[in-house]
Structure 1
Amino acid sequence: MISMLFDNLVCWLILAAALGSYQLLLQEWLLLRQGNWQQCGQWQQFNTVLIASMPLCGLLGTIVGLLSVFAGMASGGSGAADLSAGIGEALFTTQLGLTCAIPAWLLQSSVSSKLNRARINHLCLQEA
């Protein structure tokens, strides 16, 4: 499994997107905890795109992996072990994309909810 991670460019793309997304989420969460909600939200749309790219990159990795498996089958040189290893590597990218994206979606939802509550509280205090 670990060799699949290091040898696959799509896995690196997914991990880079996840690292960037989680960094932005952590930064926003820390700003909200400190009460600096005015500085939050500027990267929210970009982070949404970044999170959505993770499962799509996983799907791309699956397609690329399956194409290489089918190319190996067409040449007639692949055995059952090679085919199953290739399919496993192809499906690993989908798993990685979803495993990175789903918690990020949940965290972004939580951060967005807290930011909206802070804005509403601020507006209520201004009107009072």
Structure 2
Amino acid sequence: MISMLTDNLVCWLILAAALGSYQLLLQEWLLLRSGNWQQCGQWQQFNTVLIASMPLCGLLGTIVGLLSVFAGLASGDSGAAELSSGIGDALFTTQLGLSCAIPAWLLQSLVNAKLARARVTHQHTQVA
């Protein structure tokens, strides 16, 4: 499994997007916890794009893996090991993309809800 990760450019793209996204989510969460909610939300749209790119990169990895399988079948020179390796790469990238994106979507929803509550609370204190 480690070789699938290190040898596959799509896996690195997914991990880079996940690292960036989780870093932005952590930054937003810490700002909210410290009471600096006014500084939050600057990167919200960019983070949404990062999160959405993870399963799409997983799909790209699926296509790349399946293309290698079909190329091996067409050439007739590939054995079962090469074919199963391509299928394994295809499935692994799909799994990696989804397993990085789903928690990020959930965390982003949590941060957005907390930010919305902070804004509503601030508006109520200004009106009163």
Gaps spanning 5+ residues in structure 1: where?
Answer: none
Q: What TM-score results when the alignment is normalised by the length of structure 1?
A: 0.98
1:28: how far off? 0.3
**1:63-78 correspondence to structure 2 within 5 Å:** 63-78=63-78
Matched letter for residue 42 of structure 1: Q
Matched letter for residue 93 of structure 1: T
Larger displacement relative to structure 2 (61-70 or 82-91) = 82-91
Question: For residue 103 of structure 1, what is the aligned residue in structure 2?
Answer: 103
Question: For residue 19 of structure 2, what is the aligned residue in structure 1?
Answer: 19
Using the alignment, how far apart are the partners of 2:86 and 2:58 within structure 1?
A: 15
Root-mean-square deviation (CA, aligned residues, Å) is 0.6
Question: For residue 61 of structure 1, what is the aligned residue in structure 2?
Answer: 61
Q: What TM-score results when the alignment is normalised by the length of structure 2?
A: 0.98
Using the alignment, how far apart are the partners of 1:9 and 1:83 within structure 2?
A: 19
1:81: how far off? 2.6
**1:1-128 correspondence to structure 2 within 5 Å:** 1-128=1-128
Using the alignment, how far apart are the partners of 2:90 and 2:113 within structure 1?
A: 36
1:92: how far off? 0.5
After the TM superposition, which parts of structure 1 deviate over 4 Å for at least 4 consecutive aligned residues? none
1:80: how far off? 2.1
Using the alignment, how far apart are the partners of 2:68 and 2:86 within structure 1?
A: 8
Matched letter for residue 27 of structure 1: Q
Tell me the alpha carbon deviations over residues 65-109 of structure 1, each in whole angstroms, 9 at most, x when there is no partner.
100110011000112232122101111000000000000000000
